[in-house]
Structure 1
Amino acid sequence: MVEIGQTVPDFELAASNGEKVKLSDFQGKNVVVYFYPKDMTPGCTTEACDFRDQHESFAELDAVILGVSPDPVESHKKFIDKHDLPFLLLADDDHQVAEAFGVWKLKKNFGKEYMGIERSTFVIDKEGKLAKAWHKVKVKGHVEEALNFIKEEL
């Protein structure tokens, strides 16, 4: 797992625009990589819409938003279309990137245990170094917290 101040290893995933996207494609920009469990679920929809609503504010700070979940690209496209999301969603179907970021975890829900995404957000600075990490994110107020970090710290 990458520590604050360390260079984040490059990764490549299929994106909602039909292309393969690499983290290194965004060198020279701040990058917000947020991991979420599943398209179209209530918490994930709220989080995605909060990022959508603040998208211009992030762009003004030279920050790119990338959402990552294990869902396939087709699911991402429907999610984007339904909620008018202006940023890319990446398909981490084999959860290798989630594992590299330490967010592929054993979860418990209604007495069942399963592996899944722990909602988390990472800010990568213009040099490709990890600047901030939030694990076990609570959706309410989180996007503003990430935006304020970039405003004040980067």
Structure 2
Amino acid sequence: MAASPDRGRQIADFTLPGGVLVDGAFERRDFTLSEQRGKPLVLAFYPGDDTSVCTKQLCSYSSGLDAFTDCGAQVWGISPQGVESHEAFARKHGLRMPLLADTDRAVTRAFGVTMPGLGVRRSVFIIAGDGTLHWKHIAVIGATFRSTRTLTEQLAALG
């Protein structure tokens, strides 16, 4: 397993397929990290669509999306399921943030959050507008997640 990037380190660019629910339509497209330069980005890696803790986490971030937007940030959910699974998950729970499909787990490995035999560690990374890692949390077990408040406090610290 690759090591997780250190704070202050430039994050390598990546592109993943995904989609976002907008006015009842699931808009599919590719999402590229470098296209977010100039504004902060929250990357929420999660083990699986429509699982108990993942659903609570992403519903929490979706309902708190205005708090992230007020900080000038977007939130992307990333998991190994395909775009079709993400669409069903987003529609079922009304999730308003993009959900990205890392089916080959290349991005998950680059962030050092794979768990052999178990999949993906629940993790959150805040990328500053200049493309460097500002903050991260990688769960040991993954039964809990970082709150919207904790993440927006870290975003506010970017100044």
Q: Residues 122 and 145 of structure 2 are in contact (CA less than 8 Å); yes or no, is this contact kept in structure 1?
A: no
Q: Work out whether 1:53 is the aligned partner of 2:63.
A: yes
Question: C-alpha deviations, 1:89-128, integer Å up to 9, x for none?
Answer: 000000000000000113xxxxxxx140000000000101
Q: Which residue of 2 aligns with 1:86?
A: 96
Across the aligned residues of Structure 1 and Structure 2, the Cα RMSD in angstroms comes to 1.4
Unmatched runs of 5 consecutive residues or more in structure 1:
107-113
Kindly tell me: are residues 128 and 140 of structure 1, through their superposed partners in 2, closer, same or farther at Cα, counting changes over 3 Å? closer
* Corresponding residue number in structure 1 for 2:124: 121
Aligned residue in 2 for 1:31: 41
CA drift of 1:20 comes to 1.1
Pick from 13, 18, 41: which aligns with 1:15?
A: 18
TM-score, length basis structure 2 = 0.87
- Please list every run of 5 or more consecutive structure 2 residues that lacks an aligned counterpart in the other structure: 20-26
1:43 matches 2:53: yes
Asked if structure 1 preserves the Cα contact closer than 8 Å seen for 2:43 and 2:77, the reply is yes
Size of the aligned set, in residue pairs, is 147
TM-score by length of 1: 0.90
Identity fraction in percent: 32
Match of 2:5 in 1: 2
**3-state SS in 2 of match to 1:58:** helix
| 2:149 equivalent to 1:144 | yes
Alpha-carbon distance, 1:53 to partner: 1.4
**Equivalent of 1:64 in 61, 70, 74:** 74
SS at match of 1:150: helix
Aligned residue number for residue 133 of structure 2: 130
The one-letter code matched in structure 2 to 1:142 is S
Equivalent position SS for 1:28:
coil
Following the alignment from structure 1 to structure 2, what is the Cα–Cα distance between the partners of residues 93 and 143?
A: 26
Deviations 1:54-90 (A, max 9, x none): 1001001100100000000000001111111111000
Preserved contact between residue 17 and residue 100 of structure 2 (Cα < 8 Å): yes
User: Does the 8 Å CA contact 1:46/1:139 hold for their aligned counterparts?
Assistant: no
